[in-house]
Amino acid sequence: MPMPILPIGLRLFLLVIGFNWELGIGNWELGIGNWELRIGNWELGIEN
């Protein structure tokens, strides 16, 4: 089943609930997700 184009965060959520068949792409996206989390933490530091 072709996947629609989704925001990375939503794709990560889908991976967490069972899209393990995308492991190759999923691991790459997790790397991007971790980068986004670092940016998010940095932004939280600025806001606080």
Q: Are 24 and 6 in contact (CB under 8 A)?
A: no
Q: Are 12 and 29 in contact (CB under 8 A)?
A: yes
Distances (CA, A) of 40 to 25, 30, 31: 22, 15, 14
pLDDT in tens, 1-48: 565 676 777 777 776 666 455 555 555 556 655 665 665 556 566 655
The count of C-alpha atoms lying within 13 angstroms of the C-alpha of 24, restricted to the half-sphere facing its C-beta, is 0
Q: What is the largest CA-CA distance in the chain?
A: 43
Output the pTM of the full model. 0.23
Structure confidence at residue 43 (pLDDT):
59
